[in-house]
């Protein structure tokens, strides 16, 4: 005669909920702990840890690399913010007159993303692709933004030195600004409403550059040792 009793279940018994909880608590206390170590600590396999994390919508986030701060950097940045806020209180159109600028360096021999390169073969073909040389060619690109206008890009070949940056300002940028922002008193210079901003890169801090900015943008430039100190 038959009966209604359940047949013996086969396979691995379900993991207790407290194991899942322990996994989450362990990573909450130390979010940098490798999942392999978490698995060993809880007597389970690594794939189970990954499954639980996915179940509870935990994700592995990559570190974001930022510039190292010096001890006085927070104070200088706070002072910069307070100065800019006061300028905006005095003149709500202040930001529209600032040329915000920066440069980027591009290598002309290109780079290769190996994740996008595949060679299907039953044997290793030892596939090689030439990339950067020992002495790569490069070009520096300057661009600026003022109000709703983009300035540039302008190209500066070779290593960006203080002398090269000064020559760029004198021979390229300032003549262009004199056309865009005419000066009734001196047609070779931009008018005296325009400010210039640059960051603290070494070429920007060269004496020849600072002296030139003091001459062209008298009391109207932002940077290291500028009218407004760049943080």
- Write the CATH number for 141: 3.30.420.10
Q: Rounded to an integer, what distance in angstroms lies between the CA atom of residue 180 and that of residue 174?
A: 10
Q: Compute and round to an integer the Cα radius of gyration of the chain.
A: 30
pLDDT confidence of residue 211: 97
Could you tell me if 107 and 204 lie in one domain? yes
Q: Rounded to an integer, what distance in angstroms lies between the CA atom of residue 207 and that of residue 165?
A: 11
Which residue range(s) make up the domain with 84? 73-124+132-229
Residue 109 is classified by DSSP as T
Q: Checking phi first, is residue 225 left (phi over 0); if not, alpha (psi -120 to 50) or beta? A: left
Average pLDDT of the segment spanning 14-42: 87
Residues 187-225: tens digit of each pLDDT: 888 999 999 999 999 999 999 999 999 999 999 999 999
Could you tell me if 143 and 108 lie in one domain? yes
Could you tell me if 45 and 109 lie in one domain? no
Q: Does 163 map to a domain? A: yes
Query: Hey, which residues does 144 pair with through a beta bridge?
Result: 101, 151
Average pLDDT over the chain reads 85
Tokens coding 176: 């262009």
Q: Rounded to an integer, what distance in angstroms lies between the CA atom of residue 33 and that of residue 12?
A: 27
pLDDT tier, 32 (very low <50, low <70, confident <90, very high otherwise):
confident
Q: Does 175 map to a domain? A: yes
Q: Rounded to an integer, what distance in angstroms lies between the CA atom of residue 20 and that of residue 162?
A: 59
Q: Is the pLDDT of residue 113 over 70?
A: no
Residues 128-179: tens digit of each pLDDT: 666 656 666 788 999 999 999 999 999 998 889 999 999 999 999 999 999 9
Angle between helices 35-42 and 17-29 (to 10 degrees): 140
Could you tell me if 144 and 213 lie in one domain? yes
Could you tell me if 28 and 95 lie in one domain? no
Query: Hey, which residues does 195 pair with through a beta bridge?
Result: 98
Average pLDDT of the segment spanning 102-124: 67
Structural domain total, the chain = 2
Could you tell me if 40 and 88 lie in one domain? no
Could you tell me if 39 and 112 lie in one domain? no
pLDDT confidence of residue 120: 57
Could you tell me if 88 and 153 lie in one domain? yes
Could you tell me if 146 and 172 lie in one domain? yes
Could you tell me if 182 and 109 lie in one domain? yes
Strand order in the sheet with 228-229: 149-157, 138-146, 98-107, 195-197, 221-223, 228-229
Tokens coding 91: 């003149």
Contact (Cβ atoms closer than 8 angstroms) between residue 20 and residue 52: yes
Q: Does 66 map to a domain? A: no
pTM: 0.64
Tokens coding 97: 């007159």
Residues 70-88: tens digit of each pLDDT: 788 889 899 999 999 999 9
Query: Hey, which residues does 101 pair with through a beta bridge?
Result: 144
Could you tell me if 23 and 113 lie in one domain? no
pLDDT confidence of residue 142: 96
């Amino acid at each position: 005669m038959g009966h209604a009793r359940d047949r013996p279940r086969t396979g691995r018994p379900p993991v207790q909920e407290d194991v899942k909880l322990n996994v989450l608590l362990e990573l909450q206390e130390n979010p940098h702990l490798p999942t392999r170590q978490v698995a060993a600590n809880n007597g389970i396999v690594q794939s189970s840890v990954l499954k639980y994390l996915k179940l509870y919508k935990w994700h592995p986030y990559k570190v974001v690399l930022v510039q190292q701060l010096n001890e006085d950097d927070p104070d200088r940045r706070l002072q910069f913010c307070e100065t800019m806020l006061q300028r905006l209180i005095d003149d709500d159109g202040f930001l529209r007159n600032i040329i915000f600028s920066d440069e980027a360096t591009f290598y002309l021999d290109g780079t290769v993303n190996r994740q996008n390169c595949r060679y299907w073969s039953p044997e290793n073909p030892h596939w090689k692709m030439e990339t950067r040389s020992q002495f790569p060619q490069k070009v520096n690109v300057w661009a600026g933004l003022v109000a709703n206008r983009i300035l540039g890009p302008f190209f500066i070949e070779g290593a960006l030195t203080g002398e090269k940056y000064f020559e760029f300002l004198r021979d390229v940028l300032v003549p262009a600004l004199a056309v865009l922002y005419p000066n009734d008193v001196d047609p070779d210079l931009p008018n005296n409403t325009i400010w210039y901003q640059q960051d603290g890169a070494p070429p920007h801090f060269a004496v020849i550059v600072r002296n030139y900015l003091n001459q062209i943008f008298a009391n109207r430039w932002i940077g290291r040792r500028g009218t407004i100190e760049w943080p």
